[in-house]
Amino acid sequence: MGTSSDKKNIVIFASGSGSNAQRLLEHFEHHPHIQVVALFSNNPDAFALQRAQNFGVPTGVFDRAALRSGEVLEQVQAYNPDLIVLAGFLWLLPSAFVQAFPNKIINIHPSLLPKFGGKGMHGQHVHQAVINAQEAESGITIHYVNEHYDEGAPIYQERCPVQPDDTCETLAARVLTLEHRHLPRVVEELLTSGKNSPETPTA
């Protein structure tokens, strides 16, 4: 396994539909310097797996035991990732996994963190909470991943209005459009600026 090219390698983790994964697969399909080398899922029924296979990208499915034992870590390390993108991935990564990839794991979250993040805050739960709180705006946060749900350092945020007549579905659609528009660009910037390289001083 692994890659012999000198391109930067992206590994995607996804649990569900994978529309963000799709955008990454499309964006980097013919990129001269960056490639998606694998997509992993905790969910054997995730449509994200099919999306990756459509691009000829290898996939892996794992359970909690494999994640805890370090088996998944080994499999991912074999791909020599420069960036691991959690695109709708619902499980918390174990500390050993997070520590194995300093500044190399990012997540996209469909709210303006630190608002409406944390355990259980995913999918429609996020958008319903935003509507219930009568927020005037919502948006997306792309952030580094640490051992806590949605708490790593923010990299990029983009805002959108919450309309008075919004339902979960209409708000989710508006936010998802932002995700699709910005995730590939932010990933590309991170990989070309070298900001995610542990050798780069962060001060």
Q: What residues act catalytically?
A: 109
For ligand GRF, the binding residue among 108, 112, 131, 145 (CB under 6 A) is 108
Contact set for ligand GRF, span 119-148 (CB under 6 A): 122-123
CB of 15 to ligand GRF, least distance (A): 7
**Residue 179 is a binding residue for ligand GRF (CB under 6 A):** yes
CB of 111 to ligand GRF, least distance (A): 9
Q: Mask: binding to ligand GRF, 41-80, rule CB under 6 A, as x and -?
A: ----------------------------------------
CB atoms within 10 A of CB 167: 13
What distance lies between CA 26 and its chain's CA centroid?
Answer: 15
Q: Does 87 bind ligand GRF (CB under 6 A)?
A: yes
**Does residue 94 have a cis bond before it (omega within 30 degrees)?**
no
Of the candidates 87, 93, 43, the one whose C-alpha atom is nearest the C-alpha of residue 72 is 93
What's the start-to-end Cα distance of the chain, in Å? 35
Q: Tell me the residue number closest to ligand GRF, measured at CB.
A: 88
- Is residue 94 within 8 Å of 18, Cβ to Cβ? no
Q: Which one of 12-20, 30-38, 147-155, 195-203 is the stretch in contact with ligand GRF (CB under 6 A)?
A: 12-20
**Which helix (H) or strand (E) element contains residue 27?**
helix 19-28
Closest CB to ligand GRF among 8 and 182?
182
Q: Beta partners for 9?
A: 35
Q: Which stretch binds ligand GRF (CB under 6 A): 16-24, 55-63, 97-105, 155-163?
A: 16-24
In angstroms, the CA 97 to CA 68 distance is: 9
Find the shortest distance in angstroms from Cβ 201 to ligand GRF.
Answer: 30
CA triple 197-94-83, angle to 5 deg? 25
Instruction: Pick the closer one to ligand GRF by CB: 71 or 129.
Output: 129
CB-neighbour burial class of residue 74 (10 A; exposed 0-12, middle 13-18, buried 19+): exposed
Q: Hey, is 168 helix, strand or coil?
A: helix
For residue 20, the minimal CB distance to ligand GRF (Å) is 3
Q: Please report, as ranges, the residues that interact with ligand GRF according to CB under 6 A.
A: 14, 16-21, 87-88, 108-110, 122-123, 176, 179
